[in-house]
Copies of this chain bind each other. A is one copy, B any other.
Amino acid sequence: MQHSPDFQLQCPIPLSDYPRVTLAHGGGGKLTHQLIAEMFAPMFDNEFLRARHDGAVLPMDGERIAFTTDSHVIQPLFFPGGDIGSLAVYGTVNDLAMCGARPLYLSLSLIIEEGLPMQTLWKVVQSIKTACERAGVKIVAGDTKVIERQNGDELFINTSGVGVIEHNLDIRPGAIHIGDRIIINGDLGLHGIAVLAQRQGLEFETTIDSDCAPLNGLVGELLRADISIHCMRDLTRGGLAGALVEIAGTAKKHISIDETKITVREDVQGACEILGFDPLFVANEGRFVLFLPPDETEKALAVMHKHPLGAGAAVIGLVDEGAPGVAARNDFGGSRVVEMFSGEQLPRIC
């Protein structure tokens, strides 16, 4: 093989600690971060990856396009408020929107386990179509693989996406400034708890529906209103905490949030308490944070409150002086340091 010389390199993940890949390496917490920071990022290093964004912003003949990818391995395939098909579309649409791009085109790659009921595939395909129509994107390329029974788990879906950037803003984690306010567009924890409840057969008095939704419409309104967005990030694996810790780390800035400004529905809070989860770490699929200059917060909130997906928008914190990291002030006037979780909180959540 032509690449044998490279095989002499030492694996950057200490094999004595992790001789094998664990579930936590995919959970969005510390080990995922380690794998990316120590193995993938140095190996594939380039100016686009260095932005540590939800997608790559690429020059293309004087224009800028955004390009992103996401594989979806969620179990169960169908859950209250969505399914693997809508999730796969919105997940990639949202990553493009977080880059400040207008999502245009998606690819769709299916890895199907032999034996999947054709009717299940058909339901997912219809859901993908409906989600594409809602988000205003087209499937333009595809691929289908089938693997033997018990070598997969029903269905995995990769969607990659391309969008166009139609403004001159520089939107990325490294572009946040001290003094920036942080806005969130709604309450936390719905997606994670909806999926977990479905998986475990838990029943609540009220149905908890996933917040899974396309954010490009709302982001488009913000861009049209000329809001000087510095950074956006959707709050998927790792939740709000994971997103903020990553942004603080990339930007080398300190972030303070006020937990009393964050909304968590009572039933979601109750489920989190029973299950031992912290809502700050639970995955969402239609929630994002927005970093912007303080004098633009009122205007941004006004735009967001007019949109169904921004009705619950609120300022939850700011970028302030301090060592890189995230602090959360709680109900009792105290403050805690927010770190990425270790281990696996919720496997197969997206």
Contacts and interface: CB of A to CB of B under 8 A. Distances in A.
Given A49-B139, A117-B19, A26 B73 contact: no
A71 B109 contact: yes
Interface residues of A, number: 97
Interface stretch (A58-66, A181-189, A331-339): A58-66
B126 A48 contact: no
Main secondary structure of the interface of A (DSSP, over half): mixed
A152 B348 CA distance: 12
Interface in A98-139: 104-105, 107-119, 121-123, 125-132, 134, 138-139
Contacts of A69: 107-109, 141-143, 158, 160
A202 interface: no
Interface string A203-240: 00000000000000000000000000000000000000
A21 interface: yes
A173 B127 CA distance: 30
Contact of A145 (B73, B142, B146): B73
A146 B107 contact: no
B63 A127 contact: no
B58 A60 contact: no
B122 A39 contact: yes
Interface stretch (A7-15, A287-295, A300-308, A310-318): A7-15
B67 A107 contact: yes
A111 B39 CA distance: 16
Given A2-B130, A11-B119, A44-B132, A112 B21 contact: yes
A128 B7 CA distance: 12
Contacts of A63: 60-61, 63
Contacts of A15: 118-119
Given A3-B130, A71-B111, A111-B156, 7 more contacts: A6-B126, A65-B65, A71-B109, A147-B348, A148-B347, A156-B156, A158-B160
Instruction: Sort A-B residue pairs by CB-CB distance and give the 9 closest, nearest first.
Output: A26-B146, A160-B160, A69-B107, A56-B140, A3-B130, A151-B153, A158-B158, A44-B139, A48-B140
